[in-house]
Structure 1
Amino acid sequence: MATIKDVAKEAEVSIATVSRVINKSPKASKASVESVTKAMAKLGYRPNAAAKALVSQSTNTVGVLVGDVSDPFFGTLIKAVDTVAHQDNKHILIGNGYHDADKERRALDLLINSRCDALVIHAKGLSDQELIAYANEVKSMVIINRHIPELADRCISLDNYKGAYLATEFLIRQGHSQIACLASNHQIEDADQRVKGYLAALADNGITLPSSYIEHGEPNSDGGEIAMTNLLSKSLEITGVVAYNDYMAAGALSVLEENGIAVPRQVSMMGFDDGLIAKYVQPRLTTVRYPIQMMAEKAAQLALSLAKQKSKEAETIIFSPTLVRRDSVERL
């Protein structure tokens, strides 16, 4: 593999001149640029990105940490960050944390060591204290889908409590009172907030249900199937279901169909997120829209602004969920 010394020898210039050409220094003459460029092409030399970054103080990359890149929710997040990054002539590096503190820590350390210009971080395993320490180290780090008071002006979050409240209240307005909850078994803030929103909506409307109406499962279609099966096994009177996300709702819909329970005629179903699957299950899913694309775009723009050390007015950025009415809820 050719080295910078080989290029200098081929171009008959000094190593310093080659370095100036590689880093686009205005001190490099036109003749030097031409000779060094020809030499690099002839030798197949590719400049070391890390070395260039040390000189320019920029890698032209944005680091993104997500839970699992295979999840369409995170795919939307990554696409939005990538779009904003490209507008700034930057590329993205992606790490998976799987909502596990150790995996998040390793992925975040790798992104930082890669000298990313800015970071958009979705972390659920790491503590507030650890994320505050990382944020103090990396001034261009923005946290998405989480609110930490000490970093309020660098957090982009959603009011998950309000979203679950809206979903439950919508069922209540349609005449439902026997409303079950398919909750996530992940120990994260989102899961807790959504259960609290569900319970608050019931309480505010004078509805009291036993804890058996809440069933936990993995936040995917398999988890929805298992949780719905467990609910049916309890022989509870259920006319409505609020699911943690659209995938749990989709899994629950399949179990209801297998057991001859018509949706929405016998049981109404509410999802959460408004992902692509919500439009294609049968019946089409009434859900709560999670504006992850808008949130990710805002996070990327904020991170890049911080990287450029642009002054900005401090603000707390909490997005609001909205209802999306389709076909899976029916008035009693």
Structure 2
Amino acid sequence: MATIYQVSELAGVSLATVSRVMNNNAKVSDKTKQKVLDAMAELGYQPNSIAQSLASNRSNSVGVLVSELHGPFFGDMMSAIEDTLRLEGKHTIITSGHSDEQREKESIEFLIGRKCDALILHAESVSDEYLVELEARGIEFALMNRYIESLASRCICLDNRQGGYLATRHLLELGHRQLAYISGPMWKQDAQARLVGHKQALQEHKIAFTQAQLFEGDYRQESGGKGLDYFLNRGQKFTAIVCANDEMASGVMSRARELGIGIPSELSVVGFDNIIYASYLYPTLTTIDYPIYDMGKMAANLILKTVYSKKDVSVKPIFVPKLKARGSSIQRV
């Protein structure tokens, strides 16, 4: 079996240079790098990842915490992170927290114990204080879809308030004045911000918001249908429903179909996220575009820049949502 010493001798370079090439160090010229790669190929040399880690004090792995492993939203996020890091020779270790504080802590500590160079966290339940403490412990991480002022340089966020505002403003501009709203779980920061945006749009059109217009869902499809039943059973008058995510919007549409309620002829529906099937529903779903793939890529870039010293990447911390008007919302006659 070939050794690093044989690679060094055949390439005519030092052991340190071979090590730099194996660790993708930018200080090595392209010409020298190619000589080393050619020598490795000729000798059939396979770098020992454990030895590399010991030599560089890097594992070349990044831990990723997501809330769930299923669904298109987190699938896009994980794909973006993995795609971006893999291009730079880094690998991902993925675990889930299921929006539970203890499970999130256990998952984060597991990733730290695996000697990950950094973490990318979609953490919903652990406290701000715990995350601040992580920084104090010297743990490198990026925080997705959550903003903590003292950790601002680590946060990659969507302007959820603006997204909630755009969804409701769209319906108001179509002439709807009786709106129902299905929120996400109100203990979540993004659900709170989206509802604030909804209320802002109503206020600008001088329409009062009441609790009777609100149903608290859980971001799952079933709660969309339950929300529609809730409003109908209470005799609530509404011509449109704003849903805090696309899964709940699809639940509203499915339940409306069962009840013989026409969409959009009798009820306009707006979602949030623009997940992949939003444009395949019938009618196609008007929604707020949540660029989660781009945000996942940005979180990976943040780690590449701050932890692996990659120079040619830029980091944009705040993303602005956009309305995707489709067939589920029409002018109120």
Query: Which of the five TM-score ranges fits, normalised by the shorter chain?
Result: 0.7 to 0.9
Q: Percent same amino acid among aligned pairs?
A: 33
SS in 2 for 1:323: strand
Deviation at 1:74, TM superposition (A): 0.7
Aligned to 1:127: 127
Query: 1:247·1:277 contact (CA, 8 Å) conserved in 2?
Result: no
Q: Could you give the per-residue CA deviations for residues 107-163 of structure 1, whole angstroms, max 9, x where no partner exists?
A: 111111111122211101011111112133345311111111111111100111110
**CA 1:88–1:310 in 2, change beyond 3 Å: closer, same or farther?**
closer
In 1: Cα distance, 2:15 partner to 2:50 partner: 21
Query: 1:272·1:288 contact (CA, 8 Å) conserved in 2?
Result: yes
Q: Pairwise mapping of residues 1-332 of structure 1 onto structure 2 (< 5 A)?
A: 26=15, 52-138=52-138, 140-185=140-185, 187-309=187-309, 317-332=317-332
Aligned to 1:7: none
Aligned to 2:27: none
Q: Give TM-score, length-normalised by structure 2.
A: 0.83
Query: 2:289·2:321 contact (CA, 8 Å) conserved in 1?
Result: yes
Unpaired stretches in structure 2, ≥5 consecutive residues: 19-38
Letter in 2 for 1:207: I
In 2: Cα distance, 1:153 partner to 1:163 partner: 22
SS in 2 for 1:156: strand
**CA 1:316–1:86 in 2, change beyond 3 Å: closer, same or farther?**
closer
Query: 2:305·2:313 contact (CA, 8 Å) conserved in 1?
Result: no
In 1: Cα distance, 2:140 partner to 2:309 partner: 8
Unpaired stretches in structure 1, ≥5 consecutive residues: 1-10, 12-16
Q: Give TM-score, length-normalised by structure 1.
A: 0.84
In 2: Cα distance, 1:116 partner to 1:73 partner: 24
In 2: Cα distance, 1:135 partner to 1:144 partner: 15
Q: Could you give the per-residue CA deviations for residues 47-94 of structure 1, whole angstroms, max 9, x where no partner exists?
A: 6x5565233311111111110011210110000001111110111100
Deviation at 1:235, TM superposition (A): 1.2
**CA 1:19–1:316 in 2, change beyond 3 Å: closer, same or farther?**
closer
**CA 1:236–1:221 in 2, change beyond 3 Å: closer, same or farther?**
same
SS in 2 for 1:55: helix
**CA 1:212–1:54 in 2, change beyond 3 Å: closer, same or farther?**
same
In 2: Cα distance, 1:113 partner to 1:312 partner: 30
**CA 1:291–1:316 in 2, change beyond 3 Å: closer, same or farther?**
closer
How many residues were matched structurally?
Answer: 306
Letter in 2 for 1:203: Q
Deviation at 1:248, TM superposition (A): 0.1
Letter in 1 for 2:106: R
In 1: Cα distance, 2:92 partner to 2:6 partner: 25
RMSD: 3.0
In 2: Cα distance, 1:249 partner to 1:294 partner: 23
SS in 2 for 1:164: helix
In 2: Cα distance, 1:141 partner to 1:225 partner: 38
Deviation at 1:279, TM superposition (A): 1.2
Query: 1:152·1:315 contact (CA, 8 Å) conserved in 2?
Result: no
Letter in 1 for 2:69: V
SS in 1 for 2:219: coil
